[in-house]
C-alpha cells in the first residue's frame, strides 16, 4: 500500500496539473466542487464534483482516466465526473464502499470496471452517452441501486444479472443513436468535448428474461432499440407507472400488459404493432397512450373504458374506422387521428365535443 503522504501528494499534483479549482462550496448548485489541496480536507471529503456542467465550466482536462489514488478517498459518497473526456474508469473507484451517487455521463468510456459490484451502497448510477457495449456480469450485485441511466450507449445486451436489482425504480436506456451501422462524427450526442469518434452502432435486440424480475420498477424507457418481442412475464412489473418502448420493432403485445394496473403513461409509437389486446382496457389509471406509427387496422372496442385517458394518438396507422366507445372518454384532452383512412365526415364525437377535446386529423402534431 502506498504511504499516506505519498498518495495524497500525488492527488494534489494531479489537481494542480489539470488546473482544478480549489475545493469550495457552490451556493448555486448546493454542493462542493473542485479539489482540495490540504491533507485534512482530502481525507474527509464526501463529494467529488468535477463535471463542467456542475459549475466547473471549461475545466476539462486531458487525462483518459482519474488517478488510481481516488480509490483511497474512502469517505466519498458522491462523484460527478461527467463530460471530462474520460475513456476509462479506473478499477480503484470500486474500493469506495460508501459511494451512493456516481455520474460518469457524457464521456467516452468503453467498459465499466469488472468489480463494480463491490459498490454495495450505490443508489444512483448515470452512464448516459458513453460507448458501453456491455455491462459487467456482476452488475446485479448493486443491490441498493434505485436509478440506472444508460441512454445513448451502443449496448448489445443487458446482463441476466440485472434481474437481481430488486429495488430498482428507474431505468432509462434510450438508444439515441442513428440506424446506421457505424457512427462517425466530431461531436457525439451533445458531448461537451470535440473528438474524432468512429464506432459500430449496436442496439438491444431483446431483453433478458430476468428483466421481468424487476418488480419495483416505476419508470422504464427503452426508446430506439431493435426489440421485437416482449415477455409474457412483463405482467410481473406491477408497480410500473411509465413505460416507453417507442422506436423498436415490436409486432405484438402480450396479454399480460393488461395487468400493469398502475400504468399511467404508455408510449408504443413507431413500432410494427398490428393489433392491441383487449386487456389494455384494464389499465384504468392510464393517462397518456401513444400508438402512432404502427400497423394497426383496428382498436379494441373497449378502449373507451380508459376513463382517465387525457392523450391518445393513433396517427399513421392503417385504421379506417374507430370504435364507437371513443366517444366515451371523460377526460380526453387531445386525440390525434391523422395519417389513417378514417373518413372524418363519418366521425361523430358528441360527448368529446362537450368536454372540449382537441381532435386532430392532420398527419403531424402542431
| Per-residue confidence (pLDDT) for residue 55, from 0 to 100 | 47
Residue-averaged pLDDT of the chain = 89
Residue 114: how many other CB atoms lie within 10 Å: 12
Answer yes or no: is pLDDT of 257 > 50: yes
Answer yes or no: is pLDDT of 193 > 80: no
What pTM, to 2 d.p., does this model score? 0.90
Binned at pLDDT 50, 70 and 90, residue 62 comes out as low
Instruction: Report the alpha-carbon distance of residue 325 to residue 94 in Å, rounded.
Output: 56
Q: Which of 106-115, 194-203, 321-330, 345-354 has the lowest mean pLDDT?
A: 194-203
Read off the C-alpha cell for 27. 451556493
C-beta separation of 74 from 92 below 8 A: no
pLDDT over 90, % of the chain: 78
How deeply is 215 buried, as exposed, middle or buried, from its count of CB atoms within 10 A (0-12, 13-18, 19+)? middle
| Per-residue confidence (pLDDT) for residue 63, from 0 to 100 | 66
Instruction: Report the alpha-carbon distance of residue 171 to residue 222 in Å, rounded.
Output: 8
Per DSSP, the chain holds a count of helices (H) and strands (E) of 3, 17
Instruction: Report the alpha-carbon distance of residue 72 to residue 359 in Å, rounded.
Output: 61
Read off the C-alpha cell for 9. 501528494
| Per-residue confidence (pLDDT) for residue 190, from 0 to 100 | 39
Binned at pLDDT 50, 70 and 90, residue 207 comes out as very high
pLDDT over 70, % of the chain: 88
Kindly provide the residue ranges of all beta strands, DSSP E only, lying in the chain, ordered along the sequence: 24-26, 31-33, 47-49, 78-80, 101-103, 124-126, 147-149, 170-172, 182-185, 197-200, 219-221, 242-244, 265-267, 288-290, 311-313, 334-336, 358-360
Q: Measure Cα distances from 38 to 15, 17, 78, 249, 350 in Å.
A: 12, 16, 20, 55, 73
How deeply is 354 buried, as exposed, middle or buried, from its count of CB atoms within 10 A (0-12, 13-18, 19+)? exposed
C-alpha gyration radius of the chain: 24
Residues linked to residue 248 through DSSP beta bridges, in sequence order: none
Amino acid at each position: 500500500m502506498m504511504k499516506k503522504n505519498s498518495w495524497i501528494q500525488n492527488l494534489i499534483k494531479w489537481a494542480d496539473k489539470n488546473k482544478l479549482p480549489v475545493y469550495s462550496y457552490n451556493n448555486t448548485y448546493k454542493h462542493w466542487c473542485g479539489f482540495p489541496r490540504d491533507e485534512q480536507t482530502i481525507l474527509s471529503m464526501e463529494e467529488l464534483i468535477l463535471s463542467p456542467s456542475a459549475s466547473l465550466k471549461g475545466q476539462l482536462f486531458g487525462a483518459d482516466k482519474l488517478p488510481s489514488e481516488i480509490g483511497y478517498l474512502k469517505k466519498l459518497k458522491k462523484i460527478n465526473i461527467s463530460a471530462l473526456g474520460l475513456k476509462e474508469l479506473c478499477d480503484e473507484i470500486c474500493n469506495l464502499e460508501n459511494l451512493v451517487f456516481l455520474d460518469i455521463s457524457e464521456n467516452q468510456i468503453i467498459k465499466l470496471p469488472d468489480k463494480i459490484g463491490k459498490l454495495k451502497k450505490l443508489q444512483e448510477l448515470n452512464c448516459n452517452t458513453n460507448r458501453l457495449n456491455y455491462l459487467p456480469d456482476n452488475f446485479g450485485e448493486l443491490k441498493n441501486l434505485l436509478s440506472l441511466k444508460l441512454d445513448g450507449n451502443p449496448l448489445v445486451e443487458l446482463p441476466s444479472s440485472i434481474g437481481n436489482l430488486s429495488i430498482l425504480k428507474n431505468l432509462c436506456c434510450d438508444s439515441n443513436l442513428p440506424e446506421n451501422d457505424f457512427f462517425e462524427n466530431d461531436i457525439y450526442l451533445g458531448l461537451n468535448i470535440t473528438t474524432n469518434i468512429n464506432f459500430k452502432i449496436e442496439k438491444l435486440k431483446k431483453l433478458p428474461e430476468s428483466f421481468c424480475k424487476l418488480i419495483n420498477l416505476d419508470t422504464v424507457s427503452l426508446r430506439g432499440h431493435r426489440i421485437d418481442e416482449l415477455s409474457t412475464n412483463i405482467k410481473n412489473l406491477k408497480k410500473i407507472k411509465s413505460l416507453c418502448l417507442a422506436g423498436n420493432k415490436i409486432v405484438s403485445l402480450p396479454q399480460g400488459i393488461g395487468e400493469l394496473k398502475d400504468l399511467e403513461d404508455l408510449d408504443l409509437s413507431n413500432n410494427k404493432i398490428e393489433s392491441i389486446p383487449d386487456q389494455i382496457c384494464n389499465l384504468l389509471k392510464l393517462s397518456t397512450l401513444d400508438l402512432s406509427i404502427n400497423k394497426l387496422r383496428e382498436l379494441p372496442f373497449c378502449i373507451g373504458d380508459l376513463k382517465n385517458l387525457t392523450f391518445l394518438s393513433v396517427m399513421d396507422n392503417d385504421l379506417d374506422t374507430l370504435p364507437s366507445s371513443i366517444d366515451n372518454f371523460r377526460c380526453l384532452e387531445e386525440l390525434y387521428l391523422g395519417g389513417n383512412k378514417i373518413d372524418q365526415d363519418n366521425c361523430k364525437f358528441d360527448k368529446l365535443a362537450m368536454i372540449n377535446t382537441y381532435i386532430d386529423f392532420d398527419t403531424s402534431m402542431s
